[in-house]
Structure 1
Amino acid sequence: MTLRFGYGTNGLTDLRLDDALALLADLGYDGLGLTLDHMHLDPLAPDLVERTRRIGRRLDRLGLSVTVETGARYVLDARRKHGPSLLDPDPDGRSARVRLLLRAVQVAADLGAHAVHCFSGTLPPGTDAESGWKRLAEAMEPVVDAATEAGVPLAVEPEPGHLLARLADFHRLRHDLGDPPALGLTLDIGHCQCLEPEPPAACVAAAAPWLRHVQIEDMRRGVHEHLPFGTGEIDFPPVLHALAATGYQGLTVVELPRHSHAGPQLAEESLHFLRRATTAANSIPAPSADSSPPASPAPSPAPSLLTSVPGQGGPK
């Protein structure tokens, strides 16, 4: 079994980026999920191109690979978390998010990243779901075109509470856009535990043909709170076994965006945990030759069991 582990910089926001990169290399990580934000690589900085070049050289020296993530909370609007989104009622707001994603595609191309992560956003008050899906598809079209031209896959993440919340919703967007090869999936293992009808290992198998990026952390059923490993409900060896069986070659990135205060410690503990879980996964028998992956599910409403962390307005 060969899996490549990374750590998300949104869980290391108390560190300078150079220090975070050195830490992850010293610990033995294979790479990182680089969130474009003001404290690390600001996508709105006038010298973004030069900053990106410097980071690329640093990554090369340290032997770290990278995926580009676009989940910064307030990078576009200092007062609206994740706003404006691709679903914003204001066309100028949607355009601002599209421009951010286009910059992310260019940064990813310049860094040789294996994917650009993104998500839909929440459905605005007063907007019906069908209008939301139409806005999402229209906003994604130029981003898909740019990703196709740059040769960088997009990896859309089903996010609890968002319009595109589950794997079934990803398939709706994929079909709405005509199934473009550049459009893939970010699978968050914790989100599978939180919200999907199938267990996480089954979600991995179902997602395999579209898998471009993986995020991983512990979580409990029905509660969207990213937890350190061992403090939630997920049985990780079957998940890692299923992930390795797909042949996925990208990074599996630890996603603990609310734990920066303990980032260095958790980065070390997380890698130890994943290595132990990988060893346990190696003892799981391979699936039978006649087994086949599940068919793509049809879109369906998200279950009502989802809750957010009290007082946090969601965990990311």
Structure 2
Amino acid sequence: MSRTDEETDRAPGLDLGFTVGLGMAFDEAVPWAAGEGFDFVEVLLDGPYARERIADRVDEMRATLAEAGLGVVVHLPFTVDPGSPFAPAREGAVAELTAGMDLAADLGADTVVFHPSSNAWDLGWTEAERRGFVHAGLDELVPAARDRGLEPCVENVVSSYYDATTFDELLERYPDASMTFDTSHALLAGMDEAGMAAFCREHADRIGHLHLVDTRGGDDEHLPVGMGRIDFATVLAALADEGWSGTATLEIGTEDYDTIALGRRHVEELLASA
């Protein structure tokens, strides 16, 4: 599928990618992404792409990216709990996420995404304690990323303390951290599009990465842009007003290439009018 000159006109500074589905073959997805006009792919280090499973493929994967002229963003596994209330478990989680950062650097990534979350039981631990467990993990993970030449783009979540409505506190506490702003997570945390736009205007200098995810509401459906209820034009216009630049991933819960391409076209149309 080829792209017209009009389709390639994109708001300056926004590089667009998509998440490689766990059932997608890397050596097929990357050439397709390049042909479709994407700038990078995002790889989640879980399932078939778990760190230990691809450790011996890093050189091959990096060569595939180089041949296609694509970049890569690495998402660390979100099932690993950096905010565990149990110190040995938390230390193990931090060790695994740090090892994932090493792989990300070897793969050629500039950006690494991870969740500032804790699975501590809310009946057994206070909110302040659960927040402290998150801090204990991030106190190590944020500098670990910087030490490896990676931008730590910590993501607003839904089911833990640092959702979009409280993320200001995290940004203030960690001046060396950047942010992954996830649109679906923000909506599900109670932030409407006007609130998202205001947040993006205020924190444009701290947002390094976007997850452009649509939903019909009620659940994190990982729909392509334009297939849910989110008014992306309002959010993207706010970023454009601030001269924002960075990477944006279509974090879509599908392995269907045509659906991914449709999501890209919707984003291109929005950016053309932003």
Alignment of 1:125-204 (within 5 A): 125=121, 126-168=124-166, 170-176=167-173, 179-181=174-176, 183-199=177-193, 200-204=196-200
1:214 to 210, 213, 219: 210
- 1:15/1:225 CA distance change after superposition, 3 Å: closer
Match of 1:53, as an amino acid?
Answer: D
Paired residue secondary structure (1:162)? coil
User: Tell me, what secondary structure is at the counterpart of 1:68?
Assistant: strand
Q: Among 245, 250, 271, which residue is 1:278 paired with?
A: 271
Instruction: Give distance in 2, aligned partners of 1:172 and 1:110.
Output: 32
Measure, in 1, the Cα distance between the counterparts of 2:245 and 2:191. Answer: 26
Corresponding position: 1:109 with 2:105: yes
**What's the CA shift string for 1:142-198, capped at 9, x where partnerless?**
222222222211111111112222252x3323444xx342x1111012223332445
Amino acid at match of 1:240: L
Deviations 1:243-279 (A, max 9, x none): 233333322100123x33xx31211111111111112
Is 1:94 the counterpart of 2:113 in the alignment?
no
Residue 52 (structure 2) pairs with residue 44 (structure 1): yes
Contact 1:4–1:252 (8 Å) recurs in 2: yes
* 2:237 is equivalent to residue 264 of structure 1: no
Alignment partner of 2:245 out of 239, 246, 249: 249
Partner of 2:3: none
CA, structure 1 residues 102+193, in 2 after alignment: closer, same or farther (shift >3 Å)?
same
Task: Give the Cα–Cα distance (whole angstroms) in 2 for the partners of residues 171 and 13 of structure 1.
Answer: 32
The letter for the 1-side match of 2:24 is: L
How many angstroms apart in 2 are the aligned matches of 1:207 and 1:220? 26
- The superposition leaves residues 275-316 of structure 1 with CA deviations (integer Å, 9 ceiling, x where unpaired) of 1111222xxxxxxxxxxxxxxxxxxxxxxxxxxxxxxxxxxx
Matching residue of 1:120: 116
Looking at structure 1, the residues matched to 210 and 38 of structure 2 have their Cα atoms a distance apart, in angstroms, of: 15
CA displacement at 1:25 relative to structure 2: 1.4
Q: How does 1:230-241 map onto structure 2 within 5 Å?
A: 230-241=226-237
Q: 1: distance between equivalents of 2:239 and 2:169?
A: 23
Q: TM-score, normalised by structure 1?
A: 0.75
Q: Does 1:7 align with 2:4?
A: no
Is 1:66–2:60 an aligned residue pair?
no
The answer on 1:33 being equivalent to 2:29 is: no
SS at match of 2:159: coil
SS at 1:55 equivalent? helix
Secondary structure class of the residue paired with 2:215: strand
Contact 2:213/2:222, CA 8 A, preserved across alignment: yes
- d(CA) in 2 for partners of 1:248 and 1:97? 33
How far residue 68 of structure 1 moved from its aligned partner, in angstroms, is 0.9
Greater helix share, structure number: 2
8 Å contact from structure 2 (residues 117, 134) kept in 1: no
RMSD: 2.1
Structure 1 unaligned residues grouped into runs of 5+: 73-81, 282-316
Contact 2:142-2:152 within 8 A present in 1 as well? yes
Secondary structure at the aligned position of 1:218 is classed as coil
Q: Which amino acid letter does the alignment assign opposite residue 22 of structure 1?
A: P
Question: Shift of the alpha carbon at 1:59?
Answer: 0.9
Alignment partner of 2:47: what SS?
coil
Of 195-204 and 22-31, the range deviating more from structure 2:
195-204
| Aligned residue identity for 2:27 | D
Alignment size in residue pairs: 259
Aligned residues with identical type, % of pairs: 25
